[in-house]
């Protein structure tokens, strides 16, 4: 991750994009710092690819301005924006060999032939595919073709690297490998990167900053840790990870805790991070991984902790972890995900679950 405050290299100022009567991006203001990897995250149709295409010059903003290195680029032709682009389908030329594919952008920049060869060789070394210059794309695997697409994007030494769902066509194991590849390459080059995905794991594992979008609007921006642990609304909490949502009313506030009476009449405790007063309607968010489960007859409550009793209604074994849905006496279900280092519970088994106020995050009830 990058550290310290750097100058923004990409700036969106009041960007709005409308297709007919449909607003695809709504008044977006956003800065991207030099050398960072920023992910635009959200479900299909949220506007993230449209935003990327406006940076690339493939779409024009209806309103607002985009700046790169302090220069307004709205009217700058695509080929003069010095951007590297990587797409989901690789977009390699099937009739050209690997050397020609990687060198394609250099030939339109009047780079001498001797320098082109050096730059292509260097780019292929960086993506760990040296010596494949004379092969055709059809002779390479999907993962190798994606590496070639990366080499073609970085060989021009772009000001900004744009990546639109570049890993979604790969199988899960290869995606994990390529995630690390992209992450390591970006850090090594220090190139400012805008990465579009709907995959929360990609966003959380790779990003310096995440911009969460819904229906063309920015929902939250921040570090992966901040967006995951302190979501600003229900949508962000629900889209990133598995969460429990518990509605209630604030019935007390002290220096350390906010006391919340929930629908059952029980009072739960959340860490006081400021901003809430007695009488506020709130929603308590608890990540499924934050609960600890115990056999009911062995459980000893810890003072200051929140706890529930119930029975295992459903479980899903997922290898290193187990997903449980626990039915409480009220009929309400809570979802917990437990690591396999603890015991495995059976359907119908009575359990007690516990969670620290530190892991109970409050947002205003929408």
Return d(Cα 106, Cα 93) in angstroms, integer. Answer: 15
Question: Which tokens in the block code for residue 176?
Answer: 């994990």
pLDDT of residue 343: 81
pLDDT of residue 4: 53
CB-count exposure of residue 336 (10 Å: 0-12, 13-18, 19+): buried
**pLDDT tens figures, 303-339:** 889 999 999 999 998 888 999 999 998 888 999 999 8
Strands 8-19 and 257-262: unpaired
What confidence tier does 366 reach under pLDDT thresholds 50, 70, 90? Answer: confident
Closest CA to 93 of 105, 78, 81: 105
Give, in order, the Cα–Cα distances in Å from 98 to each of 122, 125, 145, 155, 238.
13, 13, 9, 13, 42
Q: Reply yes or no on domain 243-364 having CATH 2.60.40.10.
A: no
Return d(Cα 229, Cα 238) in angstroms, integer. Answer: 12
pLDDT of residue 10: 97
Lowest model confidence (mean pLDDT) among 8-17, 60-69, 211-220, 297-306: 297-306
**pLDDT tens figures, 342-354:** 688 999 999 999 9
What confidence tier does 3 reach under pLDDT thresholds 50, 70, 90? Answer: very low
Contacts 24+ apart (CB under 8 A), 112-119: 119/155
pLDDT of residue 275: 87
pLDDT of residue 88: 79
* pLDDT higher than threshold 90 for residue 134: yes
The mean pLDDT value for 144-156 works out to 93
What confidence tier does 2 reach under pLDDT thresholds 50, 70, 90? Answer: very low
Tell me the H-state helices in 164-259. 172-189, 200-206, 224-229, 234-239
What 8-state DSSP symbol labels residue 298? Answer: G
Any idea of the CA torsion for 231, 233, 236, 241, to the nearest 10 degrees? 60
Paired with 340 in beta bridges are none
What 8-state DSSP symbol labels residue 121? Answer: H
- Give every CB contact of residue 157 below 8 A, 6+ residues apart in sequence: none
* pLDDT higher than threshold 70 for residue 91: yes
The mean pLDDT value for 86-99 works out to 89
The mean pLDDT value for 90-117 works out to 91
What 8-state DSSP symbol labels residue 199? Answer: -
Residue with tokens 């029980």: 266
Cβ atoms of 345 and 293 within 8 Å: the answer is yes
Lowest model confidence (mean pLDDT) among 153-157, 216-220, 301-305: 301-305
* pLDDT higher than threshold 90 for residue 33: yes
pLDDT of residue 251: 97
The mean pLDDT value for 283-307 works out to 92
CATH class of 8-237: alpha beta
The mean pLDDT value for 65-84 works out to 94
**Which residues belong to CATH 3.40.50.300 in the chain?**
8-237
What confidence tier does 265 reach under pLDDT thresholds 50, 70, 90? Answer: confident
Return d(Cα 50, Cα 73) in angstroms, integer. Answer: 16
* pLDDT higher than threshold 80 for residue 153: yes
Q: Mean pLDDT of all residues in the chain?
A: 92
pLDDT of residue 334: 94
* pLDDT higher than threshold 90 for residue 289: yes
Cβ atoms of 352 and 308 within 8 Å: the answer is yes
- Give every CB contact of residue 103 below 8 A, 6+ residues apart in sequence: 116, 119, 120, 155
Cβ atoms of 135 and 144 within 8 Å: the answer is no
**Which residues belong to CATH 2.40.50.100 in the chain?**
243-364
What 8-state DSSP symbol labels residue 7? Answer: -
More confident residue, 331 or 359: 359
What confidence tier does 110 reach under pLDDT thresholds 50, 70, 90? Answer: confident
Return d(Cα 190, Cα 304) in angstroms, integer. Answer: 46
Strand, helix or coil for residue 339: strand
Q: How far is residue 343 CA from its own chain's centroid? A: 31
In this structure, the number of other CB atoms found within 10 A of the CB of residue 342 comes to: 12
What is the sign of the dihedral through the CA atoms of 254, 257, 262 and 265?
A: negative
The mean pLDDT value for 210-232 works out to 96
Return d(Cα 273, Cα 362) in angstroms, integer. Answer: 9
């Amino acid at each position: 991750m990058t550290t310290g405050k750097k100058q923004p290299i990409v700036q969106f100022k009041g960007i709005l994009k409308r297709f007919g009567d449909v607003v695809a991006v709504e008044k977006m203001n956003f800065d991207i710092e030099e050398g960072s990897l920023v992910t635009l995250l959200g479900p299909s149709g949220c506007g993230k690819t449209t935003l990327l295409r406006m940076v690339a010059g493939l779409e024009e903003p209806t309103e607002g301005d985009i700046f790169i290195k302090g220069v307004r680029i709205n009217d700058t032709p695509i080929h003069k924006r010095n951007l590297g682009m990587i797409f989901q389908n690789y977009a390699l030329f099937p009739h050209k060999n690997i050397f020609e594919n990687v060198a394609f952008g250099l030939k339109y920049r009047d780079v001498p032939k001797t320098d082109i060869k050096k730059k292509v060789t260097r780019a292929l070394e960086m993506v760990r595919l040296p010596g494949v210059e004379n092969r055709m794309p059809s002779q390479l695997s999907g993962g190798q073709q994606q590496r070639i697409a990366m080499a073609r994007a970085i060989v021009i030494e772009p000001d900004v690297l744009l990546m639109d769902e570049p890993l979604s066509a790969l199988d899960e194991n290869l995606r994990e490998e390529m995630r690390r590849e992209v992450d390591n390459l970006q850090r090594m080059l220090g190139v400012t990167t805008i990465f579009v995905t709907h995959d929360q794991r990609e966003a959380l594992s790779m990003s310096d900053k995440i911009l969460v979008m819904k229906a063309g609007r920015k929902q939250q921006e921040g570090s992966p840790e901040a967006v995951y642990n302190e979501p600003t609304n229900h949508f962000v909490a629900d889209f990133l990870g598995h969460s429990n949502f518990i509605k209630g009313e604030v019935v007390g506030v002290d220096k350390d805790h906010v006391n919340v009476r929930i629908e059952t009449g029980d009072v739960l405790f959340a860490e006081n991070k400021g901003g809430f007063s007695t009488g506020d309607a709130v929603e308590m968010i608890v990540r499924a991984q934050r609960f600890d489960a115990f056999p009911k007859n062995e459980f000893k409550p810890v003072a200051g902790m929140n706890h529930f009793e119930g029975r295992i209604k459903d479980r899903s074994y997922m290898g290193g972890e187990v997903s449980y849905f626990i039915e409480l006496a009220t009929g309400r279900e809570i979802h917990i995900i437990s690591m396999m280092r603890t015991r495995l519970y059976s359907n119908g088994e009575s359990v007690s679950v516990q969670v620290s106020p530190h892991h109970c995050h409050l947002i205003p009830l929408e």
